[in-house]
Structure 1
Amino acid sequence: MKPRNIAIACGVAGVAVGLAAATGIVYRKQIKSAASLKRLTGYADSYDLYAIDIAYDYDLDRIIAAGVRDDQAYIDAVVAQVLPGVPVHVQAPQFACSAFVAVDAEGRVRTGRNYDFKDDTSALLVRNHPRDGYASIGFAALNNLGDNTPLDSVGGRAAALMGPFAQLDGVNECGVSIAVLTLDSKPCDQDTQRPVINTSLAIRLVLDRAATTQEAVDLLSAYDMHAMAGRDYHFFINDAAGDARVVEWDPRDPDRAFKATPVRQVTNFYACYGDEVLPNQKNGELGHGKERAVAIADVLDAHVGAQDEAVAWKALRAAAQEPNPEDITSNTQWSVVFDNTEPAAAITLRRHWGDVDAFAL
């Protein structure tokens, strides 16, 4: 074991021993998870790629049963399971982005995804093996977890343990991938007397429990949706068969009716009203960013039947964005290609197109 990992284990163990003495709680699996935390890149700006293997158990149904109709209730419910008694600062995640499906000549299915957000962040690769769910890999923004350099403090390492509940995208062992993208409409807050989930729980639910896009759609449609962090969102979901759909909650319906629209690419506009959205402008509650979807479409259209990984990266570059402090959906923080056929991920941070790290499930 590398000295850095020993330090991680000892640091988190120090917290756990004190709590165990006071409460009788022993965090063996949390310590194992924290000991796996490592930094994978070394950029001069200190916004790097980290990785963690999650070994602890959690109960999604208990979190849902806690009632997550506001962001703090969700954070409290997660912390109560992951590190009860440990003060951890986590904020509700922020989301932006572009996403698409690509299929190569052999029928291999891939999902491309840019995560765009105006504030720079480190990224956390989360490897998850839930006891009662599918294994998955995906990414969380460490600024949402309160620490962009989590190896520098015990608190940062503890915050990284929350990674599974702050993911912005991912792919599971069945080949189902999901990515969240922000919208310009009023935040969805359904109340039809069904159990409620929020934006982050939707991602966790799909990765843990859906074997196909249809299963993901069926899962999400059974819940009321609470959009987090004062914004609205939709999800791009794809599977090993290339069944790509955008899941949304209709902004023109008083009850925010659930919609699942087949699409090849999408950005920050409603797919269910895509024909009404114009590029290079705001379109009110229907969203913006269609010019990025057009740029992706141009690349994919030029390689129909041969959309291999290189084409996926070309499409991501075509839709990537430079920083703009006035635009929350600018500044591509990471670009990732998920392999839905043989689940895996390849990622680069902040448009460093020559620095791609690849990870098998």
Structure 2
Amino acid sequence: MKTKKIRKIILIVVAAVVGLILAVVIAAAIIWRHEIGSIASIKKVVDAKGDNNSGPVYMMDVKGDYYFDKFIKEGGVSNDQELINFIVDNITKGILPISIKAPTIGCSSFTAQDADGDRYFGRNYDFSTTTAMIVKTDPGHGRYASISSVDLQFLGIKDGAELDGMMQKLICLAAPFVPLDGINEKGVSCGIYMSYQGPEGEVVATNQTSDKPDITSTTMLRMILDYASSVDEAVELVQKYDLHDSAGTSFHYMVADSTGRSAILEWVAKDDDSDTDGSARELKVYYNDDDAALGTYEERNDFQYVTNFIVTPDYYSNEESMKGYDRYQAIEKAINPDGSNVNGVVTADEAMDVLKMVGRRKWDKEQGKSDSNSITVWSALYNLTDRTVTWVSNEEYGNSDAIFKLGF
């Protein structure tokens, strides 16, 4: 009799424990359902290649809204640590610490159009061997779907590491908060470019301190991708915030839309030598149809282009301080060689050839240069009319396995 009673008690306890475990598993599945779906979608699409010094490339299809509405409603953040705290509290549910670091990068972009009127936004991301990710989002709730490019080094995944552990994949849940370029379903595209502002050898981050809400460099791009349906809407959004550049460095930005309108956004003080106070900088916006102040070529051309120096007039005392000025000139000359192609009419292949021309492996070799940004990690040609992107990994323009055509 006692044996039966003990057995019954054991069965009850086992059933209770199993029930508790199931309840915990179900609760976790409900709480983490979007995160679990996002992690499950991660796939490697390009292998690392030692002979090309290239890291791997991954894709991720983000599920859910990644709490960006909440991020905006709470007034954004004013520094990387606040952003980390928000991500850890909301996305990784407090169980996984992350870090956000901005490497020293060098990049190029331009706008153009083809004979049929399709509008393009081209972008090279230049760095060194690193792990890249193409991130798809579709948050709903009035926000726009987007495709963006992320360097996972910004999240602490260094030196072209593989995502072969669950902890690394969990870190990738923060990827929507660190886009470096992208396009949304409305045909708005944007990019971020290091600007090296400050006296020689010293880079000073923008750090505005008015009573506006706050936003950091990459979260500003996420805001544009999620909420802006035109360049004008993007600029209106940005003007509402104090900008705080990430990781103690400085950036400027370009945004374009399917109507052919584009703009370069810079936060500047008087000049490079005296630009040592990030809180004193003010936003300057240069539109493609109103940028005569930038120079003769900029005035005549309806297309825009940007590299890694501030385009604001009289900011520099000499050209040697203008990083990427050689690529800037080369892009203009490639698109409008004789001064007659002021509208920047090219074919899609010709636009990609411009990105190929200033790809850093080829460019640095031809120019006899070498620095920490000697690799173009990706080239992205966004068609703002079709809402598509042709994305090329690590300058492999002739390798179909390294080229992706994506859309909505």
Say if 1:93 and 1:166, in contact at 8 Å, map to a contact too.
no
Say if 1:96 and 1:115, in contact at 8 Å, map to a contact too.
yes
Q: 1:164 aligns with which of 154, 176, 181?
A: 176
Q: Does structure 1 residue 51 correspond to structure 2 residue 59? A: yes
Shift of 1:167: 1.0
Say if 1:126 and 1:140, in contact at 8 Å, map to a contact too.
yes
**What SS does structure 1 have at the residue aligned with 2:106?**
coil
**Deviant stretches of 4+, over 6 Å:** 21-25, 323-326
Separation of aligned partners in 2, 1:34 and 1:218: 34
Q: Does structure 1 residue 109 correspond to structure 2 residue 119? A: yes
Q: Does structure 1 residue 89 correspond to structure 2 residue 98? A: yes
Separation of aligned partners in 2, 1:176 and 1:266: 17
Q: 1:315 aligns with which of 354, 366, 371?
A: 354
Residues 224 and 18 (structure 1 numbering): CA distance in 2 closer, same or farther, change over 3 Å? farther
Separation of aligned partners in 1, 2:135 and 2:23: 25
Say if 1:176 and 1:210, in contact at 8 Å, map to a contact too.
yes
Residues 239 and 163 (structure 1 numbering): CA distance in 2 closer, same or farther, change over 3 Å? same
Separation of aligned partners in 1, 2:244 and 2:372: 20
> How many pairs does the alignment contain?
339
Say if 1:38 and 1:151, in contact at 8 Å, map to a contact too.
no
Between stretches 79-88 and 235-244, larger displacement belongs to 79-88
Separation of aligned partners in 2, 1:221 and 1:69: 15
Q: 2:378 aligns with which of 328, 334, 337?
A: 334
Separation of aligned partners in 1, 2:385 and 2:76: 35
Residues 158 and 274 (structure 1 numbering): CA distance in 2 closer, same or farther, change over 3 Å? farther
**What SS does structure 1 have at the residue aligned with 2:261?**
coil
1:12-51 equivalences under 5 Å are 26-45=31-50, 47-51=55-59
Separation of aligned partners in 1, 2:323 and 2:47: 34
Q: Does structure 1 residue 191 correspond to structure 2 residue 191? A: no
Separation of aligned partners in 1, 2:378 and 2:84: 24
Say if 1:63 and 1:78, in contact at 8 Å, map to a contact too.
no
Between stretches 154-163 and 54-63, larger displacement belongs to 54-63
Between stretches 252-261 and 320-329, larger displacement belongs to 320-329
Percent of paired sites with the same residue: 29
Question: In the alignment, what sits opposite 1:12?
Answer: none
Separation of aligned partners in 1, 2:313 and 2:34: 46
Q: 1:347 aligns with which of 391, 396, 408?
A: 391
**Structure ID, larger Rg:** 2
Amino acid at match of 2:284: K
Question: In the alignment, what sits opposite 2:309?
Answer: 269
Q: Give RMSD over aligned pairs.
A: 2.6
1:1-361 equivalences under 5 Å are 26-45=31-50, 47-64=55-72, 65=74, 68-94=77-103, 95-117=105-127, 119-132=128-141, 133-147=143-157, 148-149=160-161, 151-185=163-197, 186-252=204-270, 255-263=280-288, 264-273=304-313, 281-282=320-321, 287-302=322-337, 304=341, 306-322=345-361, 327-355=371-399, 356-361=403-408
Residues 278 and 175 (structure 1 numbering): CA distance in 2 closer, same or farther, change over 3 Å? farther
Q: Give deviations 1:129-177, integer Å, cap 9, x for gaps.
A: 0123100001101222233445410011111221111111100000000
Residues 274 and 131 (structure 1 numbering): CA distance in 2 closer, same or farther, change over 3 Å? farther
Say if 2:189 and 2:382, in contact at 8 Å, map to a contact too.
yes
Say if 2:107 and 2:194, in contact at 8 Å, map to a contact too.
yes
Shift of 1:215: 0.4
Say if 1:19 and 1:85, in contact at 8 Å, map to a contact too.
no
Say if 1:299 and 1:314, in contact at 8 Å, map to a contact too.
no
Residues 311 and 278 (structure 1 numbering): CA distance in 2 closer, same or farther, change over 3 Å? farther
Q: Give deviations 1:109-146, integer Å, cap 9, x for gaps.
A: 011101112x3112101000012310000110122223
Separation of aligned partners in 2, 1:67 and 1:312: 36
Question: In the alignment, what sits opposite 1:8?
Answer: none
**What SS does structure 2 have at the residue aligned with 1:162?**
helix
Where does the alignment leave 5 or more consecutive residues of structure 1 unmatched? 1-16
